[in-house]
Amino acid sequence: MTTASEDLVHGLRRYDLWGRIAFMEIKRRYRRTVIGPFWSTVSLAILIAIMGTVGTGLWKQHPSEYIPFLASGMMVWLMISTMITESCSLFINSQHLFSRIRMDYSILAYALMWRNLLGFFHNLAIYLLVVVIFVPGLFNVSILWIFPGLLVIALNSVWVALLLGTACVRFRDVQQLIITILQISLFVTPVFWPPQLLTGMTKYLFVDFNPLSSFIDVIRAPLLGKSPMLSSYAIILAVTVLGWLATFHLFSRFRKRIAFWV
């Protein structure tokens, strides 16, 4: 009988399988479209253009500062929020896969992670266009920090997928709760509003000790030519350790019941 740790290790080794599953899911979603997954990029570009126009006046920001800030933040938020949302239906929507063949459940989590990383790189084209238009020469050696940032997001996306996937397949109301929390989090996380506008306790609550703000910072800062804050990595480290411990305990205990719950 496969254990939870064996599931995680064996699933990671099957990169050929979860890579193919990720590609097939992207292909399925955009079947019969002309530009395929770049529709997501077009939608993001329209959102950035509209929010950028409003935000520059609302927050009294210069376009050359605010538009790159907004674009980089929205890119990372879209990736993270999509990972969390799709995690809720990880096992529910993939029943046709593990009900027919014997496979490690973690393969589905790795496929979700890889699919959304590919989506991020697609959307990166919009940010490059923003930089060319508003701040040519923005990038410097700090851009290299984007790689450890993506690594920690990928590492956390796997435990989030397994944790929420297991919880939501057992209690379907959890999915609606997560969606509601994400909708609220968008407004209390510095995605489209500059964090320096807050002071005092609200800054500590919604910026300094907001895990979502930390995950955004480790990607946004390099894209803006800066180094991420050390406090962001400290918070992410704590979230990663606690998240994996909780997920491994839950996954070890209920892994065998997932097929029956679906």
Q: Which of 242, 187, 246, 191 is nearest to 214 (CA)?
A: 191
Q: For the whole model, what pTM was predicted?
A: 0.92
The mean-pLDDT minimum among 1-5, 41-45, 145-149, 182-186 falls in: 1-5
The mean-pLDDT minimum among 85-94, 95-104, 179-188 falls in: 95-104
Domain ranges for the chain, please list them: 4-261
Please list the alpha-helical segments (H only) found in the chain. 4-13, 15-29, 38-58, 63-88, 95-98, 106-134, 146-170, 173-188, 200-203, 211-223, 230-254, 258-261
* 59: three-class secondary structure by DSSP: coil
What was the pLDDT predicted at 99? 65
Residues 57 and 1: their CA atoms lie apart, in Å, by 61
Q: Which of 156, 147, 150 is nearest to 211 (CA)?
A: 156
Q: Which of 109, 201, 208, 234 is nearest to 160 (CA)?
A: 109
Share of the chain above pLDDT 70, in %: 96
The pLDDT of residue 130 is above 80: yes
Average pLDDT over residues 107-116: 94
Higher confidence at residue 97 or residue 131?
A: 131
